[in-house]
Structures are given as C-alpha cells and as structure tokens.
C-alpha cells in the first residue's frame, strides 16, 4: 500500500518531496487568523446571532460542516435553538429570527438561491471571503477576504469562520490558538507517522467535534483521494467498527467516551488521539493532507473533479 507504480518503476511514496503548495501556506496562517477573529466578532456583534434568537445556519460542503459545528456549540451554550441546513434543503415553515449563511466563494448556486428565497423581513448575515460576489448583496455582509484561499481545498476560511462564532459565543480560543501553533512547530513527518500511510481512516467525535470529524474526512478525500469515513464516537460501535483492522486508523477528535480507546484497540487499528481542542486537531489533519498528497504525487490545490465554486445552470 506504500508504493506508487510509475512507468513500471516502483517508487516508495516517501521518496516524493513535499512541494510548496497554496494549501500548505494557508494551513499555516490559521492560529493568527483565529486570533484576529476575536476582533472581527466584536466588530460585527450586532449582525451575528443574538442570545435567544432562533437561528438557521446554511452552507454547502465544508461550510455545511461548519454550520453544524456552530449549531452544536450555540445550543450547547444555551443561546437558542439553532438548526444547520444544506443550502439546497433549507426547511420551510419554521419560525427563525435570523439566518446565518456561510459561503467562501460567494457564487455557489444553491446558496444564492436559498438566500433569495428567505422571506425579506427575516435578517440574514453572510460570511464570505470573496469581494464583489452575489451573496454579499443578499444579506448583512461579514467579508473576511484576508483568509481567502487560492487552494480549492478550504482550510483557513472555514476554521476562521468557526472561530468568529466561537469568540462571539464567549469562548476563549487562546488555548486552541496555542495548541495550533505548537502543532505547526512539529515535524508532521514524525507526528503523523502512524497515520500517514494508513489504508483507511475513520474520524469520530461528539458534539461539535462530530462535525469536525466530517470535515476531516472530507479534507483527505478532496486533497489526496483517501478512503475516509466519519461518525459519532458512540455510533462507531454500531457497525463501523467492523471495517477497523491492522493497517487502518481511527482518529478521535475531542474528549473520549468511556471505553472507546479499548474498543478500538481490540480491532488492531491504530488509534490516534490528542487531548486538545478539535479545531486545533483539525490542523493536524490539514498537515496530513499536505503529506499524503505529496506521497501520491497529487496537486492538493486543484483536486480531481472539483472547482472553487459549484455554479449550476439555471
């Protein structure tokens, strides 16, 4: 599993140098981006969800996973009912006080259509990193173009959006920022050696970390075509455990439920876990994307079959 076949010559994947990519550069700015997010949250306090409001958070792909994380954190903080919907399936007939829309490109067809269908009397806030795009004209804009990305694979836009909402909820992200900086100071070839060549990785988490687990799996599928899955930790034992075996890995983000590590150990799969903030641990996944894409000779900035924005014919 650790070799590439190139022109009938077997080349160890570790022989591929790690190229400088937009993805690697963008991953590395995240701790500073999260620190600046505190100011952004304060500046836009009036258009972010207020305590007690019923809120719907909308996004596609990575932005949907961030929406789910925000919803879990906001409800967990007791700030009000919060739903997360894919832009293509926003539920009608529900009494929302505000819509929060996440869209990096500002041009995603499903997002634009959803925003146009929201009743005009309901406030809507949009977080975007692309100036001059349609979504910014359809709601109260929070433009964070300083974290826009040249890589198709989203990293810092998504995590900075999450950081803005976490600061807004009253969280202190300084410990997560310190953890991310420590991770970036490590040699990922050493710290990720046990998962670098895993045949398959199952990501698991609870609460908002379940959404981070989904995002982790997506990053590896996008950047290096890896076989990944994601589950609630408590659901792992209800079927997914059957695919865990030596040569594969289970990566837990956030706190562990009782006996979880022991249940993984009996499968022979590698168990990966650090007792750190799940958002900081996602930076380690981003580093793994950089390593595995280089190992496989892939360009993570331009993944197969993907574009920066999904724009559909109307």
Q: Per-residue pLDDT for 276 more than 60? A: yes
Q: If you average pLDDT over residues 165-170, what whole number do you get? A: 98
Task: Work out the pLDDT band at 311, boundaries 50, 70, 90.
Answer: low
Question: What is this structure's pTM?
Answer: 0.92
Task: Work out the pLDDT band at 44, boundaries 50, 70, 90.
Answer: very high
Which DSSP string do the residues of 243-273 spell out, in sequence order? G--TT-EEEEESSPPTTHHHHHHTTT-EEEE
Q: Is 32 exposed, middle or buried (0-12, 13-18, 19+ CB in 10 A)?
A: middle
- Strands 249-253 and 270-273 turn out to be parallel
Percent of the chain exceeding pLDDT 70 equals 92
Q: If you average pLDDT over residues 126-145, what whole number do you get? A: 97
pLDDT digits (tens, 9 = 90+) for 65-104: 999 999 999 999 999 999 999 999 998 778 999 999 999 9
Mean pLDDT, rounded, of the chain: 92
Specify which residues 11 forms β-bridges with: 4
**Is residue 278 a contact partner of residue 212, using CB atoms and an 8 Å limit?**
yes
What was the pLDDT predicted at 5?
A: 33
Task: Work out the pLDDT band at 7, boundaries 50, 70, 90.
Answer: very low
What was the pLDDT predicted at 18?
A: 63
Q: Per-residue pLDDT for 181 more than 50? A: yes
pLDDT digits (tens, 9 = 90+) for 185-244: 999 999 999 999 999 999 999 999 999 999 999 999 999 999 999 999 999 999 999 999
Percent of the chain exceeding pLDDT 90 equals 87
What was the pLDDT predicted at 183?
A: 98
Q: Per-residue pLDDT for 61 more than 80? A: yes
Strand, coil or helix: 143: strand
Q: Per-residue pLDDT for 63 more than 70? A: yes
Q: How many alpha carbons fall within 13 Å on the CB side of residue 276?
A: 20
What was the pLDDT predicted at 17?
A: 58
């Amino acid at each position: 599993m650790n070799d590439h076949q190139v022109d009938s010559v077997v080349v160890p994947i570790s022989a591929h140098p790690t190229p400088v990519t937009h993805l690697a550069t963008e991953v590395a700015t995240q701790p500073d981006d999260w620190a600046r997010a505190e100011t952004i949250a304060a500046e836009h306090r009036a258009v972010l969800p207020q305590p007690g409001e019923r809120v719907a958070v909308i996004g596609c792909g990575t932005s949907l996973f961030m929406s789910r994380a925000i919803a879990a954190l906001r409800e967990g903080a007791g700030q009000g009912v919060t739903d997360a919907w894919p832009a293509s399936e926003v539920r009608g007939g529900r009494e929302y006080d505000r819509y929060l829309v996440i869209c990096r490109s500002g041009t995603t067809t499903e997002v634009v259509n959803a925003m146009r269908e929201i009743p005009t009397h309901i406030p809507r806030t949009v977080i975007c990193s692309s100036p001059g795009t349609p979504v910014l004209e359809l709601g109260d804009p929070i433009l964070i173009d300083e974290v826009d990305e040249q890589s198709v694979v989203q990293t810092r836009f998504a995590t900075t959006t999450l950081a803005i909402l976490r600061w807004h909820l009253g969280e202190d992200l300084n410990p997560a920022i310190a953890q991310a900086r420590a991770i970036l100071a490590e040699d990922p070839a050493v710290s990720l050696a046990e998962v670098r060549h895993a045949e398959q990785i199952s990501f698991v988490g609870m609460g908002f970390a379940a959404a981070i687990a989904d995002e982790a799996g997506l990053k590896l599928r996008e950047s290096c075509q890896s076989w990944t899955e994601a589950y609630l930790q408590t659901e792992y034992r209800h079927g997914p455990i059957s695919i865990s075996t030596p040569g594969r890995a289970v990566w837990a983000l956030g706190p562990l439920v009782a006996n979880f590590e022991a249940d993984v150990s009996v499968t022979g799969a590698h168990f990966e876990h650090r007792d750190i903030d799940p958002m900081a641990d996602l930076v380690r996944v981003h580093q793994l994307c950089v390593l595995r894409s280089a190992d496989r000779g892939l360009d993570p900035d331009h993944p197969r079959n993907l574009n920066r924005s999904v724009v559909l014919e109307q």
